[in-house]
């Protein structure tokens, strides 16, 4: 008999689900293998529109960042002098802040002090209000920082579980973490009809309903939205903050896509800025916010850099969190070098400035155009409704599925949106994530797609989706 069986492993792992790497995506991997083996398909490649992985889809890296990494990895390149002077200077500075002057030594568990200071300066500049570097923790991507933070709400004691108010649809990494840590997901629906706004009545409804079953301790916001692509207005943020204050909720702000804002009138406001500018009593709300170098214009997903910043956390609680973080291993040093480049990019007049600006602008303008293309093209399909992609890297269109299609899905023992996503994958090679993995109003069907394929490819993809959908509808009407 085995020692570890499906019956006696941690039930929290057993019940955890994660749609982004779920069965549809696993099938995409199988199809890729089949294509390699020469199996005939109605398409040549799988298009992985399931994950916000910019460089995998062809987005070029920022030269300044990559030259910096080359220099710190192999410091002879600093001496040899083939790279721009500002890159070499920055690389030298970076190494001076590492133990032993090398990226081969462990980072301080909370991140290198000189980079934490620069992140605080960046936050200060972004928000126009001071930031303390001791409240910044650098992590190997936002995912790690989010896990550490959520763990604070873990229910290992007896009694009722903690609950976190969580937008629905939501990024399923949160629901996965809640399962692992024993936290209740207290869902509040985003209002699809007003381009995914957060309605305070809905927050109130959800909170009241949940209070019988768990201790609602915190409120999660994802801005810009994942999977919705929505950017919260300043007014909406103010309302949410006032709601959190009224109910003594800790705010967890996922702001990883803060550099990705496309839509005309929209602008990114950090929860921190709005909260502090609202003044007392709101400015004392407990807040943690997350950022990442995986998104933005840099898209350095593979290098794993991110941070959290804490506001108004009780000092003894913060000490506990930092103690915990320091035990769980140290973040990789190169991810911190990427953070360094992002929070303190080349300044006007420095040798790398022009190229950096050109590259950054090209990426953001192109994402802007693609965001528009995606929502306009999907909206033009009969039976589709797609809100404007205001920010982030995703669209979350709603699809009308005829009753016959719903029945066919039931017969196949699949949810209707899963059935649709499988069919799309098998017939076109386009891999998206079914809406049920994110949560959706019952009876509605969606999927998440990224806006990341390059413009011309994206046009083809959207046209393929249109003809697929027409075929699908014809079959089930």
- Please list every residue from 166 through 185 that binds a copy of itself, using CB under 8 A: 172-173, 176-177, 180, 182
Footprint of a copy of itself on residues 20-49 (CB under 8 A)? 20-21, 48
Which 208-267 positions form the footprint of a copy of itself (CB under 8 A)? 217-218, 248-250
Q: Which stretch binds a copy of itself (CB under 8 A): 103-111, 223-231, 411-419, 422-430?
A: 103-111
| Shortest distance, position 5 Cβ to a copy of itself, whole Å | 6
Q: Is residue 455 near a copy of itself by the rule CB under 8 A? A: no
Annotate each residue in 363-402 with x if it binds a copy of itself (CB under 8 A) or - if it does not, as one string: ----------------------------------------
Residue 403 binds a copy of itself (CB under 8 A): no
HSE, side-chain direction, 13 A CA sphere, residue 281: 7
100: left (phi over 0), alpha (psi -120 to 50) or beta: left
Instruction: Indicate the burial class of 67 (C-beta count within 10 angstroms; 0-12, 13-18, 19 or more).
Output: buried
- Only one of the segments 260-268, 319-327, 363-371, 391-399 lies at the binding site for a copy of itself (rule: CB under 8 A); that segment is 319-327
Among 160, 234, 323, 358, binds a copy of itself (CB under 8 A): 323
The candidate with the shortest Cα–Cα distance to 464, out of 62, 33, 46, is 46
The interface with a copy of itself within residues 416-445 (CB under 8 A) comprises none
Number of H helices, E strands in the chain: 17, 14
By CB under 8 A, residue 18 contacts a copy of itself: yes
Q: Is 332 in the site for a copy of itself (CB under 8 A)?
A: yes
Among 97, 163, 229, 335, binds a copy of itself (CB under 8 A): 335
Q: How far is the CB of 75 from a copy of itself (least distance, A)?
A: 8
184-189 β-sheet, strand order = 136-139, 306-311, 287-292, 250-254, 215-222, 162-168, 184-189
Strands 433-434 and 447-450 turn out to be: antiparallel
Buried b / exposed e over 354-375, threshold 16 CB at 10 Å, is eebeebbeebbeebbebbbbbb
The CB density around residue 9, as the number of other CB atoms within 10 Å, is 10
Q: Report 80-99 residues binding a copy of itself (CB under 8 A).
A: 98-99
Of positions 11, 130, 213, 354, contacts a copy of itself by CB under 8 A: 11
**Residues contacting a copy of itself: total by CB under 8 A:** 95
| C-beta of residue 181 within 8 angstroms of C-beta of residue 207 | no
The nearest distance, CB 148 to a copy of itself, in angstroms, is 9
Look at strands 394-395 and 447-450 and give their pairing. antiparallel
State the Cα–Cα distance between residues 198 and 76, nearest whole angstrom: 53
- Answer for which of 81, 327, 348, 349 binds a copy of itself (CB under 8 A) is 327
Exactly one of 128, 156, 193, 201 binds a copy of itself (CB under 8 A); that residue is 156
Minimum distance from residue 103 beta carbon to a copy of itself (Å): 5
Determine the interface stretch with a copy of itself among 36-44, 54-62, 267-275, 351-359 (rule: CB under 8 A). 54-62
Instruction: For a copy of itself, give the closer residue by CB, 175 or 377.
Output: 175
Residue closer to a copy of itself (CB basis): 250 or 419: 250
- Expressed in percent and rounded to 5, the helix, strand and coil fractions of the chain are 50, 15, 40
The helix (H) or strand (E) run that includes residue 15 is helix 11-15
């Amino acid at each position: 008999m085995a020692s570890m069986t499906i019956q006696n492993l941690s039930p929290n792992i057993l019940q955890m689900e994660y749609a982004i790497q779920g069965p549809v995506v696993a099938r995409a991997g199988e199809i890729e293998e089949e294509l390699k083996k020469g199996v005939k398909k109605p398409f040549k490649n799988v298009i992985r529109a399931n994950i916000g992985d910019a460089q995998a889809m062809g987005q070029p890296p920022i030269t300044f960042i990559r030259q910096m990494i080359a220099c710190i990895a192999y410091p002879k390149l600093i001496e040899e002098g083939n790279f721009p002077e500002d890159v070499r200077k920055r690389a030298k500075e970076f190494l001076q802040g590492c133990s032993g002057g090398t990226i081969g030594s462990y980072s301080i568990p909370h991140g290198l002090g000189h980079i934490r200071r620069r992140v605080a300066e960046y936050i200060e500049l972004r928000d126009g209000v001071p930031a303390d570097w001791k409240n910044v923790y650098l992590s190997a991507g936002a995912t790690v920082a989010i896990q550490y933070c959520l763990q604070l709400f873990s229910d290992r004691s007896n009694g009722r579980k903690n609950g976190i108010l969580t937008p629905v649809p939501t990024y399923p990494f949160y629901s996965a973490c809640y399962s692992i840590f024993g936290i209740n997901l207290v869902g509040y629906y985003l209002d699809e009809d007003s381009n995914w706004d957060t309605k305070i009545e809905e927050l109130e409804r959800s909170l009241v309903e949940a209070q019988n079953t768990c201790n609602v301790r915190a409120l999660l916001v994802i801005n810009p939205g994942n999977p919705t692509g929505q950017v919260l207005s300043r007014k909406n943020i103010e309302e949410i903050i006032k709601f959190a204050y009224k109910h003594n909720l800790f705010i967890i702000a996922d702001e990883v896509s803060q550099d990705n804002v496309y839509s005309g009138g929209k602008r990114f406001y950090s929860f921190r800025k709005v909260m502090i500018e609202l003044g007392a009593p709101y400015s004392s709300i407990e807040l943690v916010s997350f950022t990442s170098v995986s998104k933005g214009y840099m898209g350095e997903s593979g290098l794993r850099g991110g941070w959290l910043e804490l506001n108004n956390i009780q000092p003894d609680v913060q000490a506990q969190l930092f103690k915990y973080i320091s035990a769980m291993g140290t973040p990789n040093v190169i991810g911190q070098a990427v953070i360094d480049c992002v929070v303190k990019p080349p300044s006007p007049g420095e040798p790398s400035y022009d190229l950096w600006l050109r590259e950054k602008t090209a990426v953001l303008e192109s994402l802007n155009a693609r965001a528009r293309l995606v929502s306009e093209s999907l909206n033009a399909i009969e039976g589709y409704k797609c809100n404007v992609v205001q920010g982030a890297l995703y669209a979350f269109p709603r699809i009308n599925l005829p009753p016959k299609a719903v029945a066919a899905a039931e017969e196949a023992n699949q949810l209707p949106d899963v059935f649709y996503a499988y069919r799309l994958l098998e017939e076109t090679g386009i891999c998206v994530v079914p809406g049920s993995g994110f949560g959706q109003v019952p009876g509605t069907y969606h999927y998440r797609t990224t806006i990341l394929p390059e413009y011309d490819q994206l046009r083809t993809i959207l046209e393929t989706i249109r003809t697929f959908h027409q075929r699908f509808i014809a079959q089930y009407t």
